[in-house]
Amino acid sequence: MGGQSKGIFDRLYNSAENPEDLPWYEVDPPELLVKALDQRESAGTALDIGCGAGTNSIYMAERGYQVTAIDFMPQAITMLTKQIAVSDLAIEAVQADVGKWTTKHTFDVILDIGCLHTPGTIAIDAYKAQLLNWLAPGGDFILVHFGRRGWWDWWPIGPSRIYADTICQKFAPEFELVEDISEDRSDMPFFIGRSACIGRYWFRRG
């Protein structure tokens, strides 16, 4: 993660007492994650990349998944471990760099909300190579990433913005797009430009 990005995340986490205080907090899990889990025959293993405070890790664990939750920020891991301290949810919380972290296990479901689009985290080609190591054949990959609406759609700080076609081309042919739900939002924090296209992708590995 780049120094600028880490500085921003440090300030946001250090000013947040609870997960609800974080600007990206949402009560409900992503629609495409719910759809992907609903169509799977049984619960298995899941990886939450850039898990943050762990809201979605907890959701997947409550649905019976054995979840590995990784995040570069120690404050995120602290928030997650506090939330699950008195529970029996099957969540392993790991502070890790997504570009360097390795595991002997594969996962049935992988979720990424915000990791890939954070500047300085990891290049797409290297990220894809990691996914190929981690996601089992037939596994589902849910990605939430800032989309780009045109040449003019950029901001000097905050999430990188990438065209939807570019995302799909980069992950092909190993990852087939199942569904893409994108929406423009005008309620974004000022430091990332007020408005943005939020791309939501559901891929399946062949």
pLDDT band at 64 (very low <50, low <70, confident <90, very high): very high
For residue 23, the domain's CATH number is: 3.40.50.150
List, for residues 137-151, the tens digit of each pLDDT value. Answer: 999 999 998 878 888
The span from the CA of 127 to the CA of 154, in Å, is: 22
The yes-or-no verdict on residue 166 having pLDDT over 70 is yes
Q: How far is CA 71 from each of CA 10, 15, 147, 155, rounded to the nearest angstrom?
A: 13, 18, 22, 24
Strand partners, 113: 144
User: For residue 53, what are the domain limits?
Assistant: 3-205
Average pLDDT for 108-131: 86
The span from the CA of 186 to the CA of 195, in Å, is: 4
pLDDT of residue 152: 82
List, for residues 77-109, the tens digit of each pLDDT value. Answer: 988 999 898 888 999 999 998 889 999 889 999
List, for residues 19-52, the tens digit of each pLDDT value. Answer: 766 667 688 899 999 999 999 999 999 999 989 8
Picking from 31, 37, 60, 34, the residue whose alpha carbon sits closest to that of residue 47 is 60
Picking from 55, 62, 70, 52, the residue whose alpha carbon sits closest to that of residue 12 is 52
Total number of domains in the chain: 1
pLDDT band at 74 (very low <50, low <70, confident <90, very high): confident
Of residues 10 and 83, more confidently modeled: 83
pLDDT band at 12 (very low <50, low <70, confident <90, very high): low
The span from the CA of 144 to the CA of 140, in Å, is: 13
The yes-or-no verdict on residue 129 having pLDDT over 70 is yes
pLDDT of residue 38: 97
The span from the CA of 203 to the CA of 176, in Å, is: 5
pLDDT of residue 6: 65
Of residues 184 and 82, more confidently modeled: 82
Helix 124-134, helix 164-171: angle, nearest 10: 50
Mean of all residue pLDDT scores within the chain: 86
